[in-house]
Every structure is written in structure tokens, then in C-alpha cells.
Amino acid sequence: MPKYKLEYIWLDGYTPVPNLRGKTRLASEAPKSVDDCPMWGFDGSSTKQADGGSSDCFLKPVGLYPDAFRGDDAFIVLCEVIMPDGETPHPSNMRATIVDDPDAWFGFEQEYFLFQKNGRPLGWPEVGYPAPQGEYYTGVGFRNVGKVAREIVEKHLDLCLAAGINHEGINAEVAKGQWEFQIFAKGSAKCADDIWVARYILLRLCEQYEIDVEWHCKPFLGDWNGSGMHCNFSTKHLREVGGKEYFLKLMDAFEKNKDEHIAAYGPDNHLRLTGLHETQSIDKFNWGVADRGASIRVPHSFVKNDYKGYLEDRRPNSQGDPYQIASRVLKTIAEVPTT
């Protein structure tokens, strides 16, 4: 009797932000690696990925994660969507277009809100607003974080660790009901895969609490922080050679490609990148040492270490697709000669 549960998950064809989808396949043997997971199919006409007349799409497994929701005999299988010919990537398959560099290291800081059933953030009153921002960031106590939020973020952390995802940390964020997790990985594709699986795990966990995850970058206008997904990155050259001259050329390339970066950094970012709430305006590009109002923040350690280390692009937002964000960063870096 097959007893191993494989949850095949993939990104659907909705725009501008795809949804995560998943269905279960039973297997009689436990997969040792992703290569042991067969291709599978689904009805693309129900996910905006095909017409009803020719609805088959294929799922190509690309990542295998232990599934601690279901225990020892279960796995989450991250998949790419493939056309009916079994080879061609589906147009919605952004992973297939990623610029991968195993020597590029990425650390994404995923921010999000937890929303109650009434469409308001967790811990907010039924009407009106909670106390203004100030004490919520990294806060403690019922007044600051509400009742079940801590339980959710702790469980999410444990489920992700059990899945082998390299969390670097979690924290309560500036707005009430807003949280962040950080994921680091060596390799752009690996880090982006892990972000999507961590998003999936959070959504699935929150079902049990009748809570929704609001990924939008600015769920509330007014004096409330939006949600970003800061992209910390370093290449081998930036870590080992660096130098001020190279850094300045790199920043010139980022400035030149400003609009291309914004296009890849998530929808509705004009609502969030206003120049307030620790952001630079969407129509400006600048960098600054330790400056949280800059497009790119340069850590003190980077300058002290002769312009070697990592940089933080603060513009990507919480709904951004990490495949597209990491690819854009690497494309711009590739334009700058290293000699």
C-alpha cells in the first residue's frame, strides 16, 4: 500500500501575482532526492494556464522538502509548470528563466501582514485603528503583538526548519500585525525556491487559525509601513575582490537600469516606495551607507572591509517574485566588468 504523501506544489497563471497550488500524490517508496519524483499533470484550464479544449499541463519536480505538517512519511515537491509537449516551460514559469549563479548568495527579508477573517490585521480593533506605530517593531506583549501571532510565526519557523529551509531569523515588524522572516541561500534559484516554499507553508499553517496572509505591499495607506522583501546579495567578486571603483560602477549600472529593476520588484510598489516609511521614492535611485531611506543600503561593514561583502536592495516588495528579483539583480551585475 502506498503510504508516502507527496504534495506537489506549483505557481498558477494569475497575474500580476501567481497563487500557490498543490495536490497530493501517493507513492509506495520514499523519494531520496527530487530525481525520484516523477513528472505529473494537472488541469491548466482551472489555473489560468490552459484552455478547456487542451487543458493538460505538466509538473516537473525541481525541489524536495520534508513536510512536517504530515510527519515522517511526507514531502513537499516544488514543481515547474511545463507545456503539454513535456519539455517547453509554460509562459507563467518564471523559474525557467532565472539567471542562476551558485556563487551568488541571497538573503531575502519577507515581510507580510496576518489578517483576521474581518479583513483587518491581527490585533487591530473592529473599527478604527490601533495605537500609532512605534512599539510594535520587535515588540513583546499582548498590546504589541496580539494573541496568536507569536504562535503562528514560531510554528512557521519550526515547519520551515524541518523542511530544510535556511531561515536566518524572524521578527515582529513596524506595523501592528506585520511580521518578517529572513531566508538565506547560496545560489539565486535555491534562495528563490525556498522563499516560495516558505510562503506556501505559511499559507497552509494559517488555514488552521482562520487567518489569511496579506502579501500586498501596502494594505493600508496612511502612516503605516508597507511590506517589502529586501534583497541582500553578494557575488563571489563582491565578497572577495570588491573595491570602491567596482562598487561605484555597479551603482551606476543599477541607476541606469532603475526602471527595469522596479518592473521586476513586485506590483503596486508606487504605493510603498514614497520616500517615507524607510523607503526611497519609486522615481529616484540612490545608495547610502546604513541609510534605510536609500534604494540600496550599504552596510558599514562593507565600507570598512574595503567595499567587500553584501549589499541590500530595499526596493523589492512583499508580493515580488524572487525568481524575477534575483535575476534582475544578477543581470545588472553582469553588465559591469570585473577587471
Residues that bind ligand ADP (CB under 6 A): 105-107, 109, 168-169, 182, 184, 230, 232-234, 309-310, 312
Cβ 170 to ligand ADP shortest distance, Å: 9
166 binds, among Mn ion, ligand ADP, none (CB under 5 to 8 A by kind): none
Cβ 43 to ligand ADP shortest distance, Å: 37
Q: Which is nearer to Mn ion, 109 or 193 (CB)?
A: 109
Q: Do the strands 296-298 and 287-289 form a parallel or antiparallel pair, or are they unpaired?
A: parallel
168 binds, among Mn ion, ligand ADP, none (CB under 5 to 8 A by kind): ligand ADP
- Cell 529593476 found at: 261
Q: Which is nearer to ligand ADP, 18 or 309 (CB)?
A: 309
Q: Which is nearer to ligand ADP, 40 or 310 (CB)?
A: 310
101 binds, among ligand ADP, Mn ion, none (CB under 5 to 8 A by kind): none
Q: Which is nearer to Mn ion, 94 or 185 (CB)?
A: 185
CA distance 334 to 339: 12
67 binds, among Mn ion, ligand ADP, none (CB under 5 to 8 A by kind): none
146 binds, among Mn ion, ligand ADP, none (CB under 5 to 8 A by kind): none
Q: Which is nearer to ligand ADP, 101 or 109 (CB)?
A: 109
Q: Residue 328 in contact with residue 260, Cβ under 8 Å?
A: yes
Residue of minimal Cβ distance to ligand ADP: 107
- Cell 531566508 found at: 183
Cβ 62 to ligand ADP shortest distance, Å: 22
Q: Residue 158 in contact with residue 164, Cβ under 8 Å?
A: no
Q: Give, in order, the Cα–Cα distances in Å from 298 to each of 117, 197, 307.
A: 40, 29, 9
Cβ 171 to Mn ion shortest distance, Å: 7
CA distance 195 to 201: 10
Residue of minimal Cβ distance to Mn ion: 230
Q: Which is nearer to ligand ADP, 234 or 257 (CB)?
A: 234
Cβ 291 to ligand ADP shortest distance, Å: 11
234 binds, among Mn ion, ligand ADP, none (CB under 5 to 8 A by kind): ligand ADP
Cβ 63 to ligand ADP shortest distance, Å: 19
Q: Which is nearer to Mn ion, 71 or 288 (CB)?
A: 288
**AA identity, residue 330:** L
Cβ 247 to ligand ADP shortest distance, Å: 14
Handedness of CA 213, 215, 218, 224 (dihedral sign): positive
12 binds, among ligand ADP, Mn ion, none (CB under 5 to 8 A by kind): none
Contact residues toward Mn ion (CB under 5 A) are 109, 180, 230
Q: In this structure, what is the dihedral angle of CA atoms 129, 135, 141, 142, given to the nearest 10 degrees?
A: 0
Q: Which is nearer to ligand ADP, 182 or 286 (CB)?
A: 182
CA distance 24 to 4: 10
